[in-house]
Structure 1
């Protein structure tokens, strides 16, 4: 959709195509979901303590979610972790928990939620009694997610005709 196709004929009467990419004028052009204007958005920060070890692929994927629609983030997780369903379910639970909180507490539509920022802080807790044995680390991650969401007014129910 972002490309314009030009067909021309060269001097030898062979057909060829030239593709020219358009410059995008607005940030969400070409996407089915529109990124919100700065006036109509609200943000909410969630702090999640994840007690399992995140793989390097999972950390890379979570860091790629900056300025991304929640729908696309969930789609990325489902596509990339087909072979590892346990980690896929853990990553989905990291996203679903704050989403459900936003939907229940603020009546936010699923398609009005975006991930603005995401940070992962890995912490190791050492057992003080074993100073030389470093195998007793308890590793866990603090994940900070800042969501942007757009609030809408309540939908007025249409009166029936009879």
Structure 2
């Protein structure tokens, strides 16, 4: 009886299949971004001086970027630091500045960059001429980012036939 009701509701006798929509990345072939092998990549190191105090969340977030694809690291910063927009903006500036240096100087594609390693080194500076007090000290962080990137051979432009 249910079959009859279905046929009365739907005039077409086609099979309907529901498929789950897959989340596609920005690649046209739909394959996940694989960490490149050592023989096809180059490593570039950047050291950034950060004069503000890093929060514990920011330190954990930066340390979680080891061997991570750059696009996913930026996505993590945008998602996990929604409540602290000032720190979110500062961390994005740190990541984007090194990526822009690669793109401008070496013509590296944004989608061919991985974060290989990140180190955070905090130093406290004190004014020697004032009384030794912790209120006079300032914290400066040095963030070392090693970016791994894949270089591609430029495509040679075909000569015209005429």
Same fold (TM over 0.5): yes
- Measured against aligned partners, the alpha-carbon deviations of 1:113-161 in whole angstroms (never above 9, x if no partner) come to 1111100001110111233321011111000011110000112345679
Aligned-pair CA distance for 1:64: 0.6
5+ long unaligned stretches in structure 1: 1-30
CA distance in 1, matches of 2:128, 2:100: 39
Give TM-score scaled by structure 2 length.
0.76
CA RMSD of aligned residues (A): 1.8
Contact 2:118–2:146 under 8 Å retained in 1: yes
- Which is bigger in relative contact order (C-alpha 8 A, separation at least 6)? 2
Aligned-pair CA distance for 1:35: 1.2
CA distance in 2, matches of 1:145, 1:64: 12
- How many residue pairs are counted as aligned between the two chains? 133
Question: Does 2:77 align with 1:80?
Answer: no
1:35 matched residue in structure 2: 35
CA distance in 2, matches of 1:104, 1:56: 32
Question: Does 2:120 align with 1:116?
Answer: no
Greater Cα radius of gyration, structure 1 or 2:
2
Higher strand share: 1
Q: Flag as ranges the 4+ runs of structure 1 deviating above 4 A.
A: 158-162
Matches within 5 A, 1:94-113: 94-113=94-113
Matches within 5 A, 1:1-162: 32-157=32-157
Contact 2:44–2:147 under 8 Å retained in 1: yes
Give 3-state SS (helix, strand or coil) of 1:76's partner: helix
5+ long unaligned stretches in structure 2: 1-30
CA distance in 2, matches of 1:158, 1:96: 34
